[in-house]
Amino acid sequence: MNLRTETRRALLSTIFLFALLVWVYVVILQVTDIVLNLGLMSAPLTHINVFPLNLRVDLTGMVAFVVSALAFFFLQLTPKTNN
């Protein structure tokens, strides 16, 4: 396997795992919001007013889910190591 394929697999694995963890974080916030009625889902993800950081929490969860699914799909299409 060449370096380009190994790099692609490492990058896709990292993107998949990070996006999946963000999605799980948003699901935990949603469950907490339902139980305690805090109104967290319509709030921005952070207090920083810069484009990717000021997305709503629910929109961030949807984007993270789609990104993790796409990364997993392309990871499965990338050849595996032959050791």
Phi-psi region of 2 (alpha: psi -120 to 50; beta: other; left: phi over 0): beta
Helices (H), the chain: 3-36, 57-77
Question: Mind listing the pLDDT tens digit of every residue in the chain (83 residues)?
Answer: 688 889 999 999 999 999 999 999 999 988 888 888 877 777 787 778 888 778 888 899 999 999 999 999 999 998 887 76
Domain ranges of the chain: 3-77
Nearest to 20 by CA among 82, 71, 80: 71
pTM: 0.82
